[in-house]
Structure 1
Amino acid sequence: LYLHTSPEFAMKKLLVAGLPRIVQFARVWRDGERSPTHHPEFTMLEWYRAGDGCEALMTDCAALLRCAAAAGGADRLRRGERWCDPQAVPRVVTVAEAFAEFCGIDLLASCADPWRPDGPALAAEARRIGLFVGEADSWEDIFFRIMLERIEPCLGDHQPVILWRYPLALAALARPCADDPRLAERFELYVCGLELANGFGELADAEEQRRRFTADMDLKERLYGVRYPLDEDFLAALAAGLPPSAGIALGVDRLVMLATGAECIDEVLWAPVVGSAPGP
C-alpha cells in the first residue's frame, strides 16, 4: 500500500464511468518536501470537467481566488510584502513567452525533438544568465532551475498569472497541443510568486500514457533503485474511453496562506508535523 500524492487516477476512472463534473477535497502526501510553503501532508482540491478544456479551469481558478479572499475578509492576497488583487483578471502567458521575457531564452529552440529536448543547448543559455549547471544535469533539471530561480519569483504580483503550454517533455498526463506538437495542454496558476494549481487538458490515449509511465519508471529506477508498479486499472479505464476532459489540482493550504497573510504553511495547518519548517 502507498499514500497517494493525488486522487487523480480514481477521479478519472469516475469520468470514464460517466460522471461529468467531479470535485474532491483530499489529504495527500509528498515525502521529503519541507519548507515554509511545503508540508509532507496537505490538502488538495481537485476537480474535473468532462467536455471542457483548460479555459474553463482557468475561469474556475479566478473565481476561487475571489472566494478565498472574501472568506478571509481580505481585499488582497498577501505573501510577505507582496500582494495580488484577487479581482484582477489573470494574465495568461505561455512558458516560452515567460522564458523570453524574464531570461531572454528561446526555450523552444531546445525542443525541436519534443521527447528528447536538447540539454546542452539549454545548459548554455542557463550559464549565460549566470546559473550553475552540473555536468550530469538533464534538460529537465535545467528547465526547473531556471523556473525556480528566475521565472517563478516574478509571477503573480498585483495580478494572478497563468503559465500555459508547457513543453511536451513535461506533459505528465496532459495531451499535446493540437496546433504545436512540441507543447502540452498544461498550465499552472501563480500568485505572489507561489504556485497554487496545476491543470491539464487530459490525455485519453492509453498506449501513449503507458509509454510515458514506463519511461518515468525507468528513470526513477535508474536514479533511486526502486521500481513502482503501473496502475493497470487506470490504464484499462483510459482504454475503455476517457471523454474529452480537463482537470486541475489546487493546494488549499497555500491558498489559505495567501488569504490570511500567513508566512509559513504550519500556521494554517491544524496539526503540522513535529518540528518547525526551515526558513526561506
Structure 2
Amino acid sequence: MTAASPWWAPHRHADRRPRLLQRNAIATAIRDWFAHRDFVEVQTAALQISPGNETHLSAFATEAILPDATRSPLYLHTSPEFACKKLLAAGEQRIFSFGPVWRNRERGPLHHPEFTMLEWYRAGETYESLMEDCAALLSLAAERAGAESFAFRGREADPFAEPERLTVADAFGRHAGIDLLATVGGDGATDRDALHAAVHAAGMRTATDDTWTDLFSRVMVERIEPNLGVGRATILHEYPIPEAALARPSPRDARVAERFELYCCGVELANAFGELTDPEEQRGRFEADMDEKEKIYGERYPLDEDFLAALRIMPEASGSALGFDRLVMLATGARTVEDVIWTPVAGDDY
C-alpha cells in the first residue's frame, strides 16, 4: 500500500485548499455574529497551572524554568474555561474565545491533538439562550459554506431546521429502554448495581468491575449518540449530576444538571452549562474526579486555586464550548477533521 502524500504536497494542498478557504469564511462569519451581539473576543493564555480536572481529560505537560533555575510544572490548556470564568469574575459580561486548545490521548477522524475551540459565555443569562446560539451557528456555518445539508458516515441533517430538544433520561428510554434516573438519587448518589442490571437486560456487554460512569458511557456511545442529530440537530440536555462536574443542579430536578450537548449527524459539536458557582461544591467534584483519574491513569492534575477563588465572586452565567473543526468538517462535507485543519500535527493520516 502506497503511503499518502503529506498534507504539504502541492497536489494534495490544492485538493484541500477549497475547504480551508471555506473554514476561513465560516470563522469570519462567526466573529462577526458575536461582535454584532456585543460580545468581546478574549485571548486567554495557553499555559495554565491546571489543564482541567475531568477524569478522562489528558493534557500536554511542560514546565517553566524560572530565572533562579527552579522549575514549575505547567500545562497547555484543554479549554479556555478557567480563564474565561476569571474574566467573568472580573466584570466581563459577554465574551468569546476562538483559538487552539490541546488534548492528549486523542487522535482519529473526529479528534486531533491540537484543535480549535469556540467558547462563549453570557453572564446573567440562562443556558437555554446558548441553545438558541448553537442553532444560529449551525445555520450560519451552512450558509457560508453553501451547504443545504450536513452529512457524515451515512447520516444527514438539515442545519437550518430547529434542533430537537431531548433529555438524557428520555434518550435512554427511547434508544435503550433504560430508566436512567431510577439509578440516580436526589443527592447525586448513583446506584451502580441497578444500572448494571438495566444495561445487561438491554442486551449490552457489561463487566463486573464497571462503574456507574462506565455503564453510562457505554450506553451513550453504543445506543444513544448514533441516533442523535439525524434529520435535524439534537440538543441533549439535563445530564445526571455525576456527568456534569462544572454545571449547576437543575431547579426542576436535583438529580440532573444544567448541561447540554449539541449533536449533528451523530457527531458531538458543543458542550454547554449553566455554570456552577459554588466553590466548595466545585472543589469536591474536582477532587472526586482526580481520585478517579489517579485510580485509572496513575496521575492527577493540580487544582487551580485562583479559579476556585474567582468562583466566589463570579456572577450567574452560562457558557458553551464548540469544536470548530468538527463544525467545518460537517459544513464542507469533509471526511475527517484533519481535512479542514490548515497544518495538521504529524502522525496518523485519516
Question: 1:95 Cα shift?
Answer: 0.3
Question: 1:244 Cα shift?
Answer: 1.0
1:56 partnered with 2:119: no
Q: 2:338 aligns with which of 266, 269, 272?
A: 266
Q: Which residue of 2 aligns with 1:252?
A: 324
SS at match of 2:290: helix
Question: 1:274 Cα shift?
Answer: 2.1
SS at match of 1:61: helix
Q: Which residue of 1 aligns with 2:234?
A: 161
Counterparts of 1:274 and 1:210, CA distance in 2: 37
SS at match of 1:181: coil
Question: 1:276 Cα shift?
Answer: 2.9
Q: Which residue of 1 aligns with 2:267?
A: 194
1:209 partnered with 2:270: no
Q: Between Structure 1 and Structure 2, whose CA radius of gyration is higher?
A: 2
Q: Which residue of 2 aligns with 1:10?
A: 83
1:124 partnered with 2:197: yes
Identity of aligned residues (%): 58
Deviations 1:51-98 (A, max 9, x none): 111111000000000110011111111213321111100110100000
SS at match of 1:226: coil
Counterparts of 1:160 and 1:114, CA distance in 2: 32
Q: Which residue of 2 aligns with 1:143?
A: 216
Deviations 1:118-167 (A, max 9, x none): 11111111112221111111100110100001000001111110000000
Counterparts of 2:335 and 2:206, CA distance in 1: 31
Question: Is the contact between residue 178 and residue 202 of structure 2 (CA under 8 Å) also seen in structure 1?
Answer: no
Counterparts of 1:178 and 1:113, CA distance in 2: 12
Counterparts of 1:169 and 1:17, CA distance in 2: 29
Question: Is the contact between residue 78 and residue 192 of structure 1 (CA under 8 Å) also seen in structure 2?
Answer: yes
Q: Which residue of 2 aligns with 1:243?
A: 315
Question: Is the contact between residue 234 and residue 262 of structure 2 (CA under 8 Å) also seen in structure 1?
Answer: yes
Q: Which residue of 1 aligns with 2:32?
A: none
Counterparts of 2:295 and 2:187, CA distance in 1: 22
Question: 1:114 Cα shift?
Answer: 4.2
**What TM-score results when the alignment is normalised by the length of structure 2?**
0.77
Name structure 2 gaps, 5 residues minimum.
Answer: 1-73
Counterparts of 1:80 and 1:143, CA distance in 2: 24
1:90 partnered with 2:163: yes
SS at match of 1:67: helix
1:65 partnered with 2:138: yes
Question: 1:173 Cα shift?
Answer: 0.5
Name structure 1 gaps, 5 residues minimum.
Answer: none
Counterparts of 1:246 and 1:265, CA distance in 2: 27
Q: 1:45 aligns with which of 95, 114, 118?
A: 118
Counterparts of 2:153 and 2:259, CA distance in 1: 28
Question: 1:26 Cα shift?
Answer: 2.1
SS at match of 1:233: helix
Counterparts of 1:276 and 1:132, CA distance in 2: 30
Counterparts of 2:81 and 2:222, CA distance in 1: 29
Question: 1:227 Cα shift?
Answer: 2.6
For 1:226, give the aligned amino acid.
Answer: E
SS at match of 1:56: helix
Q: 2:182 aligns with which of 94, 109, 113?
A: 109
SS at match of 1:172: coil
Q: Which runs of 4+ in 1 moved over 4 A?
A: none
Specify which structure has the bigger relative contact order, considering alpha-carbon pairs within 8 angstroms and separated by 6 or more residues: 1
**What TM-score results when the alignment is normalised by the length of structure 1?**
0.96
